[in-house]
């Protein structure tokens, strides 16, 4: 459990493509040249992205609190994952809510699966 969070973080509502409801996102670091960034993401209870697709860049995340499900895998606090660029994922959700630290290796451009 996170016991201390810097008070000066700027949290912004953000809609992850193909999902609802909105998450809250606080960017911690960004590289303007590559488009990569590191962010804290708060997923509210009931968040879901039921469709399939992929990001054009790689994503690494660590769940800090709660549970996050991606493509049938449940990630709990302390679990980490690396999803390479172009790797399709489906049925992402957080039934009870979660907080994750996420790093994207470039601009987070979501490409929905055809269909």
Q: What is this structure's pTM?
A: 0.91
Which residue matches tokens 């994207």?
104
Q: Which of 4-18, 28-42, 45-59, 65-79 has the lowest mean pLDDT?
A: 4-18
How many domains does the chain divide into?
1
Question: What is the average pLDDT value for the chain, to the nearest integer?
Answer: 95
Give the model's pLDDT for residue 8: 81
Residue 71 lies in a domain: yes
Q: Please give the radius of gyration of the chain, using alpha carbons only, rounded to the nearest integer.
A: 13
Give the model's pLDDT for residue 115: 77
CATH of the domain at 46: 2.60.120.10
Residue 34 lies in a domain: yes
Residue 90 lies in a domain: yes
Concatenated DSSP letters of the chain: ------TT---EEE--TT-BS-EEEEEEEE-TTT--EEEEEEEPTTEEEEEEEEESS-EEEEEEEEEEEETTEEEETT-EEEE-TT--EEEEEESS-EEEEEEESS---EEEPP-
Range of the domain at 38: 12-104
Give the model's pLDDT for residue 20: 98
pLDDT at 1 over 60: no
Q: Model confidence over 103-112: pLDDT tens digits?
A: 999 999 999 9
């Amino acid at each position: 459990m996170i016991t201390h969070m810097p008070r000066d973080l700027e949290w912004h509502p953000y809609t992850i493509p193909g999902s609802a409801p909105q998450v809250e996102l606080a960017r911690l670091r960004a590289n303007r040249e590559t488009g990569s960034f590191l962010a804290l993401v708060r997923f509210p209870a009931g968040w879901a992205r039921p469709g399939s697709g992929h990001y054009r860049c790689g994503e690494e995340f660590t769940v800090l609190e709660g549970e996050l499900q991606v493509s049938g895998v449940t990630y709990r606090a302390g679990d980490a994952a690396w999803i390479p660029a172009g790797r399709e994922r489906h049925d992402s959700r957080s039934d009870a809510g979660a907080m994750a630290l996420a790093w994207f290796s470039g601009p987070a451009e979501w490409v929905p699966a055809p269909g």
